[in-house]
Structure 1
């Protein structure tokens, strides 16, 4: 909702996967929230710490609110859960609805919603990272196949040591 927990985590994970695949020159990603609560703020410190433990830096990211223009700029706009999906749908306008999807569609078997860890403990942030890694790998595989990209990405089971949107 506020772009300080799940979305920047997903952005950081996916950007790392894209770099690892050698595709950062053709795939761009960003994150945005559906509320104005934290505009301009950095990600939650707990999200930053959890990501850093896996070698992913997200502290430089800043929260922003999603806009209708995002549906023109990006091929996909990925929602972390059904509530955010419903909030994003009016921004899609005519022709943009096909760009809106749930992030976890790219991680079959993991449900629909990335749980919001904001009011919980550190385990919630670890769970979000796990889900973002699974969905990020699925998303990258989807983009490579759909767009005929050549990737250096060879092991879809790779985890980061100690990944809604393209």
Structure 2
């Protein structure tokens, strides 16, 4: 089982959106028994809350299921239990590296998987309100991430 964790600041906008989109893509390919998906936040402000209303609206608009998603905070054990840890921006990346005590871990930025991207950070729609732009970035990045995992792990 390959385990993928998406991480943002509060785990109510970007990372649950990425979790839901990626899980949707995994399920569409019938790989739910080979790839497990989760999300977390570096902060603890929203623990136990469902995704933000803007995230839920854009996921509903695109027929992507998010039922049961609740915010949680990333913990040190996550760094050992997940094969791919995907940070939404540089601040999340740096927080994860601190949590990992700078040990070598498989931590990436989401937009490393955006084929034509010059931008490295997924903007936080909690502050910008632009859930559609973020969804588009995440949707394309998740497709490339899934392709990368299938190739690297020889998943059929």
* Pair in the same fold by TM > 0.5: yes
For 1:29, what is the secondary structure of its paired residue? Answer: strand
Offset at residue 59 of structure 1 (A): 4.4
Q: Provide the aligned C-alpha RMSD in A.
A: 1.3
Q: TM-score, normalised by structure 1?
A: 0.84
String of CA shifts for 1:38-84, please: whole Å, max 9, x gaps: 01111101110111100012242100011111111100111000011
Q: Does 1:57 align with 2:65?
A: yes
Q: Which residue of 1 aligns with 2:86?
A: 78
1:1-166 equivalent positions in 2, closer than 5 A: 1-93=9-101, 95=103, 97-110=104-117, 111-121=119-129, 124-150=130-156
Q: Which has the higher strand share?
A: 2
Stretches of structure 1 lacking an aligned partner (at least 5 in a row): 151-166
**Deviation >3 Å, runs of 4+:** none
- Give ranges in structure 2 of 5+ residues lacking alignment: 1-8
User: How far did 1:119 drift?
Assistant: 2.5
Moved more, 52-61 or 62-71: 52-61
With the length of structure 2 as denominator, give the TM-score of the two structures: 0.89
> Does the residue aligned with 1:36 lie in a helix, a strand or coil?
coil
User: Which structure is higher in RCO with an 8 Å CA cutoff and minimum separation 6?
Assistant: 1
- Paired residues in the alignment total 147
Secondary structure of the 1:129 match is: helix
